Each structure stands twice: as C-alpha cells, then as structure tokens.
Amino acid sequence: MLLGLKASTDERQIRDRLQYHPDVFEFHLTEADFTASGWQHFLKMVAWVQSQVPTVVFHHPMRFRGQRNELAMNPTKYPARYDFLMTSSVKLMTLAKKVNATALIHGGYRVDTPGDYAGWRDVAKAQDVALARMIAFAQEAPGHVVFENSMSPIFRYGDPAFEARLLRWRLPLAYDTSHAFITLHGDNERLIASLANLKPLVRHYHLVDSMGQTHDSLPLGQGRIDWYRVLPQLNPNASRIYEIGLKNQFDCQEMIASHHYLEKVAAKLAAAKHPA
C-alpha cells in the first residue's frame, strides 16, 4: 500500500511529510517557483526529497497572475498566460526527464464565464486544443508527464465518448477521484465504470474523498466515495498521493489518517477474498 504525500516547496512542509517515509512525494508548485530564486530553491528541495523518496511528481502551477493556467488557452486572447503555460510546462517536463520524475499538468480547471472555454467559444474547440497539446507534451516527455482531470467540461472523466478519445490516443493520465465523483454528481456506479475504463492509462492517482457536490477535499472515509469498490479498480503500477484539505499545512495528519483508512479497507477486502 503506497503512501503518497503532497507539499509545497516550503522546507517545514517537506520535513513534516518526510518523517512518514512516503513512497511517493508530490510538489505543489506555484508561479513563484519559476522565478530565478524560486527555481533554485525548488531544485534543492527536489534533490533533498529524491534522496529519501523513490517516486516524485511535480504539479504544474495552477495559476499565473491570479488566473488559472488552462491547457487549452487561446494564445490570441491570453498571450501572457499562454506564454507562461507553455514555457513553464516545457521547463518542468525537461526537469522531470533529467531527474527521472513526473510532471503533472491539468487538462482543465474551471469555466467561470459562460461561453468562454479557455478563450474559445465552444467546449469542443477547447477540447481539441487541449488534447493536441497533451499529445505533443506526451511526445516531448514520454514516461515523464501525466494529465489530470478536472470538473471542467474541457477535460473531465466519466463521459464514455470522451474517454474513448483518451484511450485512442493512449494519453498518460492522472486520475483525481473527487473531481470525477463531483462531475458524476456523486454516482459511485459511474465512478467505478470510469476508473475501470481508464485504468490502463492511469499513471498517477489523487486519492481524495468528497460528498459529490463541491470541491470539499475530504479525508478518505468522510465522504460518499465507495473505497471498497474503488481500491480494486486502481492501476497497481500507478503512483498515488492523498490530496486532502489540511487544517494545518505543516501537519499532514489528514493524509496519514486517509492512508490508515485505506489500509483497513485493503485488509477487509483481503480477508473477504481469503477467509480464514
């Protein structure tokens, strides 16, 4: 049972996570980490973490100057944000290849303005742009980049027709359980179907519970996701972290509690499969 934890590049956060000897560590990066001084600090933190953790993931910054870094960004409408998106993505993938880590890039975030899908007028165009960029990135950094689902119609799981496009291109995926569960309005049946369908493509999981209505980022066992059905559908070759909302960013106890919960689920499933 892999223990995966997440932190920023803050040394106190990293020290807190490393005391638990995780198998997987994910850096949550911001725009500040891509300044000259921020990047040098980040590289030092990467070396420190990699000296103790076998699998490391770099989460691409969610925002640039307060606005979301949509992968499908229209360069004509948002030139500065598009430039940051592309240059930072390439820089992160280059580092991931160099140090044998994985860059995680969101396929989408959230549509705030009706009729504006990352600067495009319709969601189909935005999907095409996002998928084309994913294909190019996957070719740029094979084995070192994954694409995460959101609740945005541009890139969300749960629609068999859209998932068929991902399967056709064999894109390397990251799967956030809560994003899919919320997209599917708390439907465990459809969540399980999506997990099973995309299982061969998933390289990394964000395990997080939810009530299925809002982005609540709950510890495992405190939401409505059926983890007894989810756990067998996870790709055993994929990495995973617990992406839980923390009361204190310097104390990841909610992530550790989630790990203990999943260990109990696994033990009960094993006992049911092989009764004494």
| Per-residue pLDDT tens digits for 126-150 | 999 999 999 999 999 999 999 999 9
Q: What is the pTM of this model?
A: 0.97
State how far the Cα of 24 lies from the Cα of 167, in Å rounded to an integer.
Answer: 26
pLDDT for residue 276 = 65
Give a yes or no: residue 245 inside a domain.
yes
- 205-259 pLDDT, tens digit each: 999 999 999 999 999 999 999 999 999 999 999 999 999 999 999 999 999 999 9
**What is the CATH number for 180?**
3.20.20.150
Domain membership flag for residue 114: yes
CA dihedral 218→163→111→138, nearest 10 degrees, is 90
Query: Has residue 38 been placed in a domain?
Result: yes
172 domain-assigned: yes
Q: Which run of H or E residues covers position 81?
A: helix 79-99
What phi and psi, each to the nearest 5 degrees, are found at residue 26? -115, 125
Residue range 11-17: mean pLDDT, rounded: 98
Residue 27: the pLDDT is: 98
The parent domain of residue 149 ranges over 2-271
Among 184, 268, 175, CA closest to 221: 268
Kindly list the distances between the CA atom of residue 189 and the CA atoms of 91, 167, 194, 229, 260, in Å, as whole numbers in the listed order. 39, 20, 9, 9, 25
In a domain, residue 13? The reply is yes
Q: Is residue 276 part of a domain?
A: no
Q: Are 5 and 25 in contact (CB under 8 A)?
A: yes
Burial class of residue 47, CB neighbours in 10 A (0-12, 13-18, 19+): exposed
117 within domain boundaries = yes
pLDDT in tens, 82-111: 999 999 999 999 999 999 999 999 999 988
pLDDT (tens digit per residue) in 180-204: 999 999 999 999 999 999 999 999 9
- Number of domains present in the structure of the chain: 1
